[in-house]
Amino acid sequence: SFSMQRESSLFTITAWLEPENIERVEALICDRLSALTTTLVSEIELARSKRLLCNDYAFSTETPGQLAGLYGYYHTIAQAELSVTYPQRIQAFSAEDLRNLASQYLSPYHYAAIVMKPL
């Protein structure tokens, strides 16, 4: 569900696959993360991602209880007014902004992987 953290938060990728595909999929994930740091996402993908994030925000703020939780959370960490600017802040991101953020926070060389296999 929607959450706009004040500082960085945990980024996870989950994959359910056959054990023989683990190494190949892990290498693919690292390759894609590396590509995000050097290549701009397409305008179509950027627009799709913005739409999904804004829709998630809209559906996460429908009820009075959801709004109370959201306002309380933001009042605690910053200002409650920031919670209502999320869609505008998402819409303001450019492909260059995302590439810069990926370069700063996503590294295919610094990550933790947990693998669970059947016995």
Alpha helical stretches, state H, 1-119: 22-38, 43-59, 64-77, 86-92, 95-105
* Residue 31 included in any domain: yes
24-57 pLDDT per residue, tens: 999 999 999 999 999 999 999 999 999 999 998 8
* Structural domain boundaries, residue 26: 19-105
Interatomic CA distance for residues 119 and 103, integer angstroms? 38
Per-residue pLDDT at 36: 93
Q: What is the pTM of this model?
A: 0.71
* Residue 9 included in any domain: no
66-89 pLDDT per residue, tens: 778 777 777 777 776 777 788 898
Per-residue pLDDT at 23: 95
* Residue 117 included in any domain: no
Interatomic CA distance for residues 58 and 64, integer angstroms? 13
**Structural domain count, the chain:** 1
CATH code of residue 68 = 3.30.830.10
Say if residues 97 and 60 touch (Cβ distance below 8 Å).
no
User: Could you identify the residue written with the tokens 């996870």?
Assistant: 12
Interatomic CA distance for residues 7 and 110, integer angstroms? 19
* Residue 83 included in any domain: yes
* Residue 114 included in any domain: no
DSSP class of residue 98 equals H
